[in-house]
Structures are given as structure tokens and as C-alpha cells.
Amino acid sequence: MIWVLFLALAALVLAPLGFALFRPARTTGRAEADLALYRAQLAELDRERAAGRLEEAAHRAATVEVQRRLLAAPERGVEGKQGGGAAILAASVFLIPALGLGLYLWGGHPGIPAAPLVERQEAAARDDALLGQLRARLEQTSPGTEAYRQGWILLGNAERGRGRLDAAAQAWDRALASRFDPALAAEMADLRIQQGETDAASALLARALQQDPADPRLRYLTGLAEARAGRNANARSTWRALLAESPQDAPWRALLERQLQDLP
């Protein structure tokens, strides 16, 4: 009986997908679809904050992350309807629950209880030990090598994924000291903005813009750092200039317009 319930739940979750598949399709661009997704994510974050389920700091960090993805997304051309893609999605509505059930019956263990707190703490300790070993190994690597730089980038990514922003910043600092890269500088500046260190973020972005002055993400983050620092006039002029030079179909235009409207 429990498997029937699992299948019913999976069908319920995938019902919106099935509904979308059988609606009349229309031609749309990937950029438009991306923009709609990001708008929906931002609106959901606003609703969670208004309902009191999301603290202001968490809301701000999540909003910055959505904005980061939007600015990092490449521009795409307009795409028409693809019957093959729709067929694959339609098959997925039925195959995903069946595949999931089959895999669980083959290798799952429904009788195993949830991992207690002690086990989760032990797993976290093992992760800490592995990252510590990586850090120690990188300390012994020659600073001028690409392996050294890439290692610190990976370590920073791991630390950021665990929510340890200070440790991530320290690792990325080492990578940037090895070789300055505008893309990594943008990630670092984004992190600094989340930490409230807007002056450090602005300095990084100014240096990155010297190498890549047209990069929209660097310019957007420059405006964001200015806004977070309370320099609204600078943020407004930065974002207006970026908006004026952005293509009409650029997926970040709506984000810029919204940020400009929200400025005091």
C-alpha cells in the first residue's frame, strides 16, 4: 500500500508538468523563460519574507544569489517549439515515478531510520577533516602553479556551499593572489556584499572592470555594492548606464528596472 501512496504522491507532484505539456504551446525564447523563472523565484522570496518565514538577512542573501544567477546566465537566441523535447517531458511524467520506485525497490531500505544528530555531526566532522587535508596539501603546493590556484578555488566553493563565508573568502583570496581573474573577483565581490563588506567588494570590482569593463555582472554588482553602502546616487547612475547599453532582450533588464525602482 505504501508504494501506491508513493506513486500517487509522485503523480501529484508531476501533475503541473503534465498539464503544461498538454496545453497549447507557443513559441518562446530561452531568455524569456529564464527571466520568468527568476521573477518567480524573487516573488516567492518576497512572499516568504512577508509571511515571516524568512528572516531579512536570509532573504537578502537568497535574493543576491538569484540575481547572481541571472547576471551569470548567457544570452540565448529565440527558440521555437521542439516536439522532441515535449515528447521527452511527456514520457518523464510517467517514467520518473516508475524509475524512482524501481531504484528504491532495488537498492532502498525503507526500514532504516533517519540518521540521528550524532551521525550527522560525525559526517560533518569527516568533511571538516577532508577539507583540512586539502588545505594542508595546498599550503605545500607552489603558489605559482595553476594547481595551487584551482585548489583554492575549489576549497572556497566547498566552504561557501557549507555556508562558511569567511573560510570561502580566505580561500578565494589565495586564488586571486595567485592570479587575478575577473570572474572569480565577481564571485568574491558577491560574497563580500553578502557579508556587508561593501568597500572591499567595490575595490575588487573596480580592479576587475579594468580588465573587463563591459561585463554586465561586474557592472551590476558595482551598483549593488553602492546601493548596500547607502550611495544610492552612484548605484542609480551605474545601473542606468548598464540598462541603456543592454540589448532589449537581455534577461537582466527587468532585474535592473526593478532595482532602480526600489532605490530610495
Query: Are both 204 and 244 inside the same structural domain?
Result: yes
- What pLDDT sits at residue 61? 64
Q: Which of 67, 22, 36, 44 is nearest to 194 (CA)?
A: 67
Q: What does pLDDT average to over the chain?
A: 75
Query: Are both 34 and 149 inside the same structural domain?
Result: no
Query: Are both 131 and 258 inside the same structural domain?
Result: yes
Check pLDDT > 90 for residue 41.
no
Query: Are both 193 and 97 inside the same structural domain?
Result: no
- Distance in angstroms (rounded) separating the CA atoms of residues 211 and 186: 12
Angle between helices 232-245 and 216-228 (to 10 degrees): 160
Domain that holds residue 26: 2-107
Check pLDDT > 60 for residue 104.
no
Name which residue leads in pLDDT, 186 or 140: 186
Check pLDDT > 50 for residue 249.
yes
Query: Are both 232 and 165 inside the same structural domain?
Result: yes
Query: Are both 103 and 128 inside the same structural domain?
Result: no
Residue 34 lies in a domain: yes
Highest mean pLDDT among 33-42, 224-233, 252-261 belongs to 224-233
Q: Which of 247, 255, 254 is nearest to 76 (CA)?
A: 247
Residue 256 lies in a domain: yes
Residue 194 lies in a domain: yes
Residue 118 lies in a domain: no
Which residue, 107, 132, 156, sits at the end of a domain?
107
pLDDT tens for each residue of 143-191? 888 888 888 888 888 888 888 899 999 999 999 999 999 999 999 999 9
Arithmetic mean of pLDDT, 78-99: 51
- Distance in angstroms (rounded) separating the CA atoms of residues 207 and 142: 25
- pTM to 2 decimals? 0.57
Arithmetic mean of pLDDT, 69-73: 62
Which residue, 75, 107, 139, sits at the end of a domain?
107
**Residue 108: alpha-carbon gap to chain centroid:** 31
Residue 183 lies in a domain: yes
Arithmetic mean of pLDDT, 114-123: 65
- What pLDDT sits at residue 134? 75
Query: Are both 88 and 136 inside the same structural domain?
Result: no
Check pLDDT > 50 for residue 2.
no
Which residue, 43, 74, 107, sits at the end of a domain?
107
Query: Are both 134 and 102 inside the same structural domain?
Result: no
Residue 116 lies in a domain: no
Check pLDDT > 50 for residue 4.
no
Query: Are both 90 and 204 inside the same structural domain?
Result: no
Residue 235 lies in a domain: yes
- What pLDDT sits at residue 119? 65
Query: Are both 99 and 147 inside the same structural domain?
Result: no
- What pLDDT sits at residue 15? 54
In the three-class reduction of DSSP (H, G, I as helix; E, B as strand; rest coil), residue 78 is classed as strand
Query: Are both 172 and 249 inside the same structural domain?
Result: yes
Residue 6 lies in a domain: yes
Tell me how far CA of residue 86 lies from CA of 20, 35, 80, 82, 90, in angstroms.
10, 21, 12, 6, 6
- What pLDDT sits at residue 185? 95
Query: Are both 210 and 237 inside the same structural domain?
Result: yes
Strand partners, 78: 29
CATH number at 153 reads 1.25.40.10
- Cell for 89? 517531458
Tell me how far CA of residue 7 lies from CA of 60, 240, 262, in angstroms.
37, 51, 45
Check pLDDT > 80 for residue 206.
yes
Number of independent structural domains in the chain: 2
Q: How far apart are the first and last CA of the chain?
A: 57
